Structure 1
Amino acid sequence: MTVGQIPEVAERPRPAVRTRAAAGSGDLPRTSMTARRRRAFYLFTSPWIIGFLLLTVGPMAYALWLSFTTFDGISPNWRYVGFGNYSELLTDSVTWNSLSRAGVFAITSVPLSIIAGLALAVLVNRPMKARGLFRTLLYLPAVVPPVGAGLVFKQLFNRDSGAANGVLNIFGIDAIAWLDDPYARYVILMSVLWAAGNIMIISLAGLQDVPRELHEAARIDGASAWRTFRSITVPLLSPVLLFQAVTGMIASVQTIMPLLLASKPGPQGVTEIPQTNYMYMMHVFAEYFALGRYGYASALLWVLFVLILIMTGLIFKVTSGVVFYNVDPEAKK
């Protein structure tokens, strides 16, 4: 070996390294990662799944079975009538009148609630002092329990001691029987609009998701505030408005608590309900608990369920061309 040469070192054999991939199958866990994730998913969602099966699917299946019987909840002498209950409701004028009132109430209350909630959201979205306080105060009615809200409105519009008639008396106007026909419907509508804070919060979240760059570009182009709101804000809020329309429609046709609280006891303990407030769910309530016709009332509920599905599908069909979703172009790839 001369100077400057590096002595050759004999290459020694390297010990074999056992990796998890090369190791025997006994070193791997028997359960794959996918199976672990599936098990964790069902473990964490099991409370909801069990509750959904026991408290939703089970009662719905039981109500479906009842709708084919004459069961009254007490007597063991019931019989299977097939589609007899459904045939009866098709010719029941009371059912159709109550359904039409519920439809009119939905057509009236849902757009007004959405407009009121959106207007409040635009108002509290502007920079102002104590903006958080105003948001809280406007949202508070939405968290009041329905029973409490109903009792407040019933006392507020009481004919003899209500504050509404007290204000009218100041201006020399005679007291109005707000809880009787034809004014009862307006009291219920005002109670719904009073709780528009829930819609306000959802609309406010949608407003804050609208890119400011679009408003700035419209302002540079000389667009007015109304044109910017109509051409930019509303189209980008269309998914939120669609959600509110669907959920509002479902909630409005199922309205019952304000109607019950607005009723008053009549002679011989019979509850008097204004004709304008006798909507579909009030009819279901009367068939269940006043007349004890569990089978017929269950048929009414299942018809309502089918009608809600149909109306939801129609809303999606009609609004398919006017609802725009803000999707990232990169997400489509």
Structure 2
Amino acid sequence: MSTGQLTDQAAGTGTSATSPSRPPAKTPRRPAPLRIRRARAFYVFTVPWVIGFLALTAFPLGYALWLSFTNADGLSPNTRFVGLENYREVFSDPETMDSLWRTGVFTAITVPLGILAGLLLAVLVNQPIRARGVFRTLLYLPAVVPPVGAALTFKLIFDRDSGAANGFLDVFNVNGVSWLVDPYARWVLIMLTMWTVGNGMIISLAGLQDIPRELLEAARVDGASPWQSFSRITLPLLSPVIFFQVVTGIIGSLQTFAPLLMSLSPTPAGVTGVPESNYFFMIHVFAQYFANGRYGYASALLWVLFAIICVVTFLIFKLSKGAVFYSVEPEQAKSKPRTIGDAR
């Protein structure tokens, strides 16, 4: 067969006689859409949090809820289901109701006082004075001290025999006072709570610095007094900050546990030594858990407190309508923001 015939045959079959056949080229894979990639990254980064939430929050909450319907004591394996018996005892136990009442009174005193003191300090350190950064640091420094250290320090300061408070009274020939027993223990606790007022000061200071100066200058030009500018401009614009402090302050005060560190001996049995005025709800829960071994009843107490906090928070949000003024109204925040080039 001649060379011309081989060429004609290769041309007719569409293949070359001298070169091997090539596989067809693969189509490149399209990258996943941006929405899917973002969702994938979101789930990857949230997996550690989800695991921690399930292991350290969801499971303990569910286990405590199950315990609240039993007579568990933490030692005996013969746990029996008792239904709503623990919850009935919560609302019929005078000691529980008294501890809840004391906690409510303490909250009603310390939350407004702490917000007012923090706002006053924020207004003072917001003035154009020299070394105001130093004053801000010094006023905020006590809030950095851990709660355990602050409580134990106050316990040492107000000790009847060797405390600095009675040492100061001795200078004026005043007899020593038993600060950590009734009727003074409650006031020592209030002072301990006010010790961390620097947190509220920083939050209020941030709110003050967010207020446009043009509004205050315009009010001053119009002849408004400092009090009128503060009450009619500063306070309304600070209402979201104050509202935040009210909610978080109430939640924190209802869970107060610091008095236990001030007036309790190291052993669980020492819970009976807490002054009556400082025998708060959380201390009562501690006593039921570790002194009385009533895990089921104590779990019911905690769930009742959780329900109370939810109800109080819900009522605060409902009552705050019309009293809290936001720079952006909710209706405006939900609307799509206008961009350059949008048709009017």
Q: Normalising by structure 1, report the TM-score.
A: 0.88
Give the conservation status (yes or no) of the 8 Å contact 2:151–2:261.
yes
Deviation at 1:49, TM superposition (A): 2.1
**1:235 counterpart SS class:** helix
The answer to whether the 8 A contact 2:106-2:253 is kept is yes
Give, in angstroms, the shift of residue 266 of structure 1.
10
When residues 330 and 82 of structure 1 are mapped into structure 2, their CA distance, relative to the original with a 3 A threshold, is closer
Give per-residue Cα distances to partners, 1:118-161, cap 9 Å, x unaligned. Answer: 11111111111111111111111111111100111011111111
Q: Is 1:66 paired with 2:67?
A: yes
> Structure 2 unaligned runs (5+)?
1-25, 338-344
* 2:263 aligned residue: 263
Which residue in the other structure is 2:248 paired with?
Answer: 247
Note the 1:210-249 alignment, pairs <5 A.
Answer: 210-249=211-250
1:191 lines up with 2:192 in the alignment: yes
Compared with structure 1, are the counterparts of its residues 132 and 293 closer, same or farther at alpha carbon in structure 2 (3 Å cutoff)? Answer: same
Q: Displacement of 1:169 after TM fit? A: 2.0
Check 1:69–1:267 CA distance in 2 against 1; reply closer, same or farther (3 A cut).
closer
Give the alignment of 1:120-131 within 5 angstroms: 120-131=121-132
Judge conservation of contact 2:268–2:291 (CA < 8 Å) in 1. no
Q: For residues 81-137 of structure 1, give each alpha carbon's deviation from its aligned partner in whole angstroms, at most 9, with x where no partner exists.
A: 011100111110000000000000001000011011111111111111111111111
* Greater radius of gyration (CA): 2
Residues 152-210 of structure 1 deviation map (CA, whole Å, 9 limit, x = unaligned): 10111111111111222222222111100011011111011011111111111111100
- Give distance in 2, aligned partners of 1:38 and 1:266: 50
Q: Which amino acid aligns with 2:306?
A: F
CA RMSD of aligned residues (A): 2.0
Structure 1: gaps of 5 or more residues: 1-23
SS at match of 2:111: helix
Report what 1:285 is aligned to. Answer: 286
Superposition deviation, residue 227 in structure 1: 1.1
Give runs of aligned pairs for residues 1-333 of structure 1, distance below 5 A.
26-29=28-31, 31-256=32-257, 258-265=258-265, 270-271=270-271, 272-327=273-328, 332=335
Structure 1 counterpart of 2:263, one-letter code: S
Query: Offset of 1:26 from its aligned partner?
Result: 4.9
2: distance between equivalents of 1:266 and 1:114? 33
Q: How many residues align?
A: 308
User: What is the CA distance between 1:295 and its match in structure 2?
Assistant: 0.3
Asked if the contact 2:268–2:290 (Cα under 8 Å) also holds between the matched residues in 1, the reply is no
2:248 & 2:27 partners in 1: Cα distance? 53
Deviation of the 1:241 alpha carbon = 0.5
Contact 2:111 2:253 in 1 (8 A): yes
Offset, 1:255 = 0.6
Counterparts of 2:47 and 2:139, CA distance in 1: 37
TM-score by length of 2: 0.86
CA gap 1:248/1:101 in 2 versus in 1, 3 angstroms: same
Cα distance in 2 between the residues matched to 1:199 and 1:330: 29
